[in-house]
Each structure stands twice: as C-alpha cells, then as structure tokens.
C-alpha cells in the first residue's frame, strides 16, 4: 500500500469506521483524535510524539509506523484486538511521561502481549 493510501485508510478508520461502532461496542473513546492517539502510540510502542516529528502525526509518520497503526485499526475494527487495553496502555505511557528505558521496555513487552 502506498504512503498516501496508508494515510487515507488511517483517516478513514479513525474519523469514520471506528467512531461509527464505538458506542455500540462500549468503547471508552469516541473522537477521531483519540483513536489516532491509541493506534499511533501502539504502533510506536510509546507516545507517538517521541517518534514522529511534525503535526499532524498521521501526515508525518514514517510509512512503517503508519502501516502498523492501520493494521491495528483494522484488527480493532474486526474485533481481533481489544481497544480498551490499547487505550489504557496509551494513557499509561502519557502518565509516565519520559520514562526510563527499562520502564518503556516493560511497557512495550506488555503491549505486545495484548496484540
């Protein structure tokens, strides 16, 4: 998939597809920017702004990170990956801020167990 197609699919997932099913699935988030935060943080294994220079993140993310965010978004939409744990992990990374390398490593390992 081209970089442009990845970005378009990321926006489609986070602006339309995921918000459209959020209430029915009882998800804790509904807004597009929240879905973008969760998916990009998970793809980055930490807060996205530590790995992506520039805003908006989806427009500046390297193609491999964007591809992982799209893969996760598709998996969440299909019900293969649970959104709530991804959201909790994203929020935990943000509470920790700039954690030590060992803390980030432990968080990354926990995320991969979720996936």
Does the pLDDT at position 101 exceed 50? no
Q: Which residues contact 18 (CB under 8 A, 6 or more apart)?
A: 35, 73, 76, 77, 83
Per-residue pLDDT at 113:
64
* Comparison of pLDDT for 112 and 39, the residue scoring more: 39
Q: Each residue of 9-54: pLDDT tens digit? A: 999 999 999 999 999 999 999 999 999 999 999 999 999 999 999 9
pLDDT band at 104 (very low <50, low <70, confident <90, very high): low
- Residue-wise DSSP of 59-113: HHS-HHHHHHHHHHHHHHHHTSS-HHHHHHHHHHHHHH-S--HHHHHHHHHHHHH
């Amino acid at each position: 998939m081209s970089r442009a197609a990845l970005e378009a699919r990321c926006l489609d997932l986070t602006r339309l597809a995921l918000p459209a099913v959020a209430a029915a699935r009882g998800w804790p988030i509904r807004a597009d920017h929240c879905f973008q935060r969760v998916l990009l943080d998970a793809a980055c294994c930490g807060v996205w702004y530590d790995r992506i220079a520039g805003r908006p993140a989806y427009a500046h993310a390297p193609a491999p990170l964007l591809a992982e965010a799209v893969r996760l978004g598709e998996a969440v939409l299909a019900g293969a990956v649970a959104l709530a744990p991804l959201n909790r992990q994203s929020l935990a990374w943000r509470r920790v801020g700039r954690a030590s390398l060992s803390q980030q490593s432990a968080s990354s390992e926990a995320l991969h167990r979720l996936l």
